Structure 1
Amino acid sequence: MRRSKELLLIRYIAIFILVFQLFVIGQNKSVLSVVSILLLIINNHLRMFYFKKDWTYILSLILEIIAIPLIQINFGGSIIFYLIGVSIDIFTLKNKNLKYIFAGFILGISTSKSFSSGIEESFIYFVLMSIFFMLLNYISKLYITKKEAQKLYDKLKVSEEKLIYANNELEGYLHSIEEVTLLKERNRISREIHDSVGHALSTAMIQLSAMEAIAAKEGSSIRPMANNLRNFINESFQDVKKAVRELKPDEYDNYQGLLRIQEVCKNFEKMSGIEVKSIISKGEWSLSSKQINHIYRITQEVLSNSLRHGKATLIKVIMNFTDDEFVISFNDNGIGTDEIKEIGVGLKSIRERTEEINGIVDMKSSKGKGFFIKVIVPKEVEV
């Protein structure tokens, strides 16, 4: 508000009229008067552009309110033009009580008989300053409303950006879940075909081989037929094996270990009654068996701690691959703590297991806001 273009213009017009009154109409040639006016202008500008702390700003206002009557009495000029700048600035104060105290002092100075030629002029000054104060109060409220609206707009903008980011993340996770689900289903179907059709065909071939051997002993004519049928089934069996290999996704191996961890989460949910949401994102590389085993045990420990110590009812488990790292995070809605003490076996075990696979563990918690654990595991370099 103090730097509003319109109010700055009013301030400069008042200073110009005051200078005109003193040095053109009043023919005042005193060096002290020039210095006094310059000091008022400098104090005004320092308050506008440099004094940001409340105590320096208020001190500047007090000094100016004290100096104005002394300068007016000694060098002349209309008191109302002296008070324009300081009047604008008092309405930028956050403290309402202080604002109205200063306004009362200024109104008292402007209507004092010492600074006017009579009662009529004092009344005119009173009316003008009252109207000016009402306008300033209205502008101040508008400015505060505008500022609050801007803050609200900024918050909404930040919230919108967060929502967009969260939506993009969710879409990525959804895509990953769909891919993992598809890989699981393809793997299940390939396994079913291998176990059922493959087993039936291999059994049939064994039976036909036995029939062929018996027919050979007895000199039966069905031997060539059994041989041809066995060869045909063998070809079909090879076709089934090829189809199973093609159907079984190579990428599934990257997820086998993580699906074990997801299975732990599901079993824990069934046994404890605590809701466990687990999400796996797509990865282009797989964890080693050592890494999987340690992460598996870490997951068990974290879930157990959330139940026993955190009293949680919801645990979120997110597994995410980057180019060089695998990140698994656990976030529960338990009671939390303001001080994490790794004195028990559980938390120590989590840190030790993470360090054994050259990982990094981060633990955060606060009272009433649950517990958060993030484990970062680097990709193993192939030798």
Structure 2
Amino acid sequence: MIKSKELLLMRYISFCILTFQVFIEVGNKSIVSLVFLLLFIINNHLRMFYLEKERSAILSIIIELVFIPLAQLNFGGTIIFYLIGVSIDLFPLKNKIVKYGLGLIILFFGIYPKFSGPIEDGIINFVLLGIFFILLSYISRLFSTKVEAQQLYDKLRVSDEKLIEANKELEGYVESIEELTLLKERNRISREIHDSVGHTLSTAMIQLSAMEAIAEKENSSMKDMIGNLRAFINESFQDVKRAVRELKPDEYDNYQGILRLQELCKNFERMSGVKVKVIISKGDWNLSTKQINHLYRMIQEILSNSLKHGKATMVKVIMNFTEDEFVISFSDNGVGTDKIVESGLGLRSIRERVTEIEGIVHMKSSKDNGFFVKVIVPREAEV
């Protein structure tokens, strides 16, 4: 119901006038009239504040319209003041047939001589009710527009909050990817230094040792010079080893398994042409070798199913560490299915592998809405 302050004031004024007419002008002081007016006001309030379903509001209006003519004939009062409240509550109804039908009944009550009095009063009531209905129709449209605008605003606000939250999550994922990329690059550089410079210096030291041995045998004056050069290169070699140890990140070991899974997704994308978007959030603990191996095989099977059975062109993979769990989810844009059958080797092997690492798997799909798989792997207790 419309809860405009102006319409509420108009409703309450009509109650006051009606009460004055019944008890002061007519002088009706019976208990029945008092009970009726109380029930009349209570019924109006129920429609305004409690009867949210349209069917209940219509029932309340019909009950009121049944008793209004009886009350007017027995207790007195002007019929139009009986009809103001029910008229206000009539216009928000969405059922046009009921709304217009009850509106005609209200107009009939307003102009019927038995209720309105002389024909002149009936004409005045008709004009007043007509103007009142036009105003109510306009107010109802304004109110509906306001409600729709408020609903749209609420949706936009919720969407904005979701966008802010998604943006924060995306920033976290970007930071994780940047950190993983940095760790991977530092590890690559340290390995390159070790394999190139380290091996070169090591080879040079071996050759200098051989030259020093030959010089000593031939009692050559080059012996001391070769020995000093070998010592210098050895010292440089130790500096290189220290630099490599410092450059190689300690955290890299925690991500080796995840990077292996990421590399699997990239290789599948290159080989199949299916776009695989991988999002990783960093964690402070490492998956075990057993967990990585099982996850590796599961990812192979899931990606293969997305292409082979789902005819997907895009798969989104999210890897997320929590304090006690590693959660990996897959969602594709394939054809989907309304019935997931795990009788085949593929889905059954996925569930078996998850069970072996004491995890949980959840699969969901519907026709034309792709396939979704979520795997939760618990953190292994440290021995």
| Other-structure match for 1:55 | 55
Structure 2: how far apart are the matches of 1:130 and 1:146? 24
Query: How much has 1:44 moved relative to structure 2?
Result: 2.3
| C-alpha deviation, 1:40, in angstroms | 2.3
| Counterpart residue number, 1:262 | 262
1:132 aligns with 2:119: no
Q: How far 1:53 sits from its partner (Å)? A: 3.3
Counterparts of 1:183 and 1:54, CA distance in 2: 63
Partner amino acid for 1:266?
Answer: K
Separation of aligned partners in 1, 2:19 and 2:281:
73
Within 5 A, what are the aligned runs for 1:5-84?
Answer: 5-84=5-84
CA contact (8 A) 2:363 2:372 kept: yes
Q: Within the alignment, does 1:207 sit opposite 2:210 as a pair?
A: no
Map Cα deviations across residues 265-285 of structure 1 (whole Å, 9 max, x no partner): 111111101011112221211
Deviation at 1:315, TM superposition (A): 0.6
After superposition, give the CA deviation of every residue in 1:181-233 in whole Å (9 maximum; x if it has no partner): 11011111101100100111011111111111211222221111111111111
Corresponding residue of 1:291 = 291
Give the structure-2-normalised TM-score.
Answer: 0.96
Higher mean C-alpha displacement, 241-250 vs 67-76: 67-76
**Which secondary structure state, in structure 1, belongs to the residue aligned with residue 373 of structure 2?**
strand
Alignment RMSD, CA only?
1.4
Alpha-carbon deviations, 1:305-358, whole Å to 9, x = none? 101111100011111111211111111111111222211111111111111111
**Aligned position for 2:321:** 321
| Correspondence 1:172 to 2:211 | no
Q: Which residue of 1 aligns with 2:188?
A: 188
Aligned to 1:85: 85
Name the CA distance, whole Å, in 1 between partners of 2:34 and 2:326: 73
Give 2:300's aligned amino acid: Q
| Aligned mates of 1:382, 1:33 — CA distance in 2 | 82
Letter in 2 for 1:111: I
Tell me the amino acid that sits aligned with residue 113 of structure 1. Answer: P
- Number of the residue aligned with 2:217: 217
> How far apart in 2 are the matches of 1:218 and 1:31?
138
Query: How far apart, CA to CA, are the structure 2 residues paired with 1:41 and 1:215?
Result: 121
* Separation in structure 2 between the aligned mates of residue 181 and residue 41 of structure 1, nearest angstrom: 72
2:326 touches 2:377 (CA, 8 Å); kept in 1? yes
For 1:14, the aligned partner's letter is S
Alignment of 1:220-231 (within 5 A): 220-231=220-231
Structure 1 position 104, deviation (Å)? 1.3
Determine if contact 2:257/2:287 at 8 Å carries over to the other structure. Answer: yes
C-alpha separation between the residues in 2 aligned to 1:241 and 1:31? Answer: 105
- Residue of structure 2 equivalent to 1:303: 303
Which deviates more from structure 2 when the two are superposed, residues 338-347 or residues 269-278? 338-347
Task: Give yes or no for contact 2:2–2:143 (8 Å, CA) kept in 1.
Answer: no
Residue segments in structure 2 that go unaligned for 5+ positions in a row: none
Worse-matched range after superposition: 136-145 or 215-224? 215-224
Q: Give the corresponding residue for 1:335.
A: 335
Secondary structure in 2 matching 1:146: helix
